[in-house]
Structure 1
Amino acid sequence: MVSGIEWAAFLPSAILLAATPGANQMLILRNGLRHGPRPAISASIGRFTAFALMVVAVAAGLGAVLTASEVAFNALLDPAAPEPVITGVLDFDRTWFGDPAADWTIRMATAKADEREAFWESYGVLDRSPAAMWRARVYEARHLGAIRLECHRLAKADAVRESYGAMAEVLAGLT
């Protein structure tokens, strides 16, 4: 359990982090500008309620349990099943269960031959087997999809158009 002294340090830090503008606050501001203050206030109350529940869960020690267990963190299990049965996945990025090639960092480290080459000196060599190369193309398609969505969100129509060729090339390599 968390002591009083730890709460004194944790709670103000957590509130400061929660109040720091990020994706949630930007969404609340955008919705407030588009739909008025009532939906923004409602979303803000919901967000802070969820945050309060997370603070309580972490204080109770649940954070350590969740981060130590890939299944608990990534999958919904059927509680009525006689043995574990996955009924849903919570977080797409974490469903690759330990394949480093799926990570954005690896994609960026392989994107150009520049000072990033130093990364491989300490990381080691990537698996270049046929199966690993096929998975890398799947991951690249996923990354290109994310980049395309971001370009669309930023109204970069030319970049969205350019992404179709890159995606077609990657998808052709999967067949």
Structure 2
Amino acid sequence: MHRVAAQLGVTKMALYRYVPGKAELVALMVEAAIGPYPPVKVRHSGWREQLEEWAGQLFDVFRRHPWALDATVGPRIMGPAELSWLERAVSALDSTGLSGAERMDAAALLVGHVRGITQQARATGPAGNPEAQLGALLGDLMQAHGERFPALTAALTSAARSHGQDQAWEFGLQRILDGLAALIDRRVR
């Protein structure tokens, strides 16, 4: 609160006229940064396409506002804009046969994937490719110690052939959606 007050050129106590505490201030910041879920431009017929679009848009939000990764962890105050994102993901799974708890868990699983990939990208910087950087670091280790880690050496050799192409985002997203599809298929039978 003190730092925010200083940036605004007011006293810390002046901020308390507008927000009761830090938690509410952070919630307002998140609301302003992420905004409500954008209006759907293309109507997707299936839940899978809807969740692919949703995850991609959430990924873009976290890339534009990396501080929001830390601000949106754990139990906290959530505003209507943030709730609209969760509503969109959960509602995409309507009519799939999944229970409400399973739809919430699916949304949490997708958020976890988005957060993980965004955090990796943030750690490597704006021009970084996390997989290529990890491959380079591990490549040196494998040259010295590869005989102790044959499966890892083989995997890194295979990854090097794709020039360290960053595939973790799409690979993870599709495997999560494949798992949901299998569960939904079992429920429909």
Q: Where on the TM-score scale, by shorter chain, does this alignment land: which range?
A: 0.3 to 0.5
Q: What TM-score, normalized to structure 1? A: 0.32
* Greater RCO, 1 or 2 (C-alpha within 8 Å, sep 6+): 2
Q: What TM-score, normalized to structure 2? A: 0.31
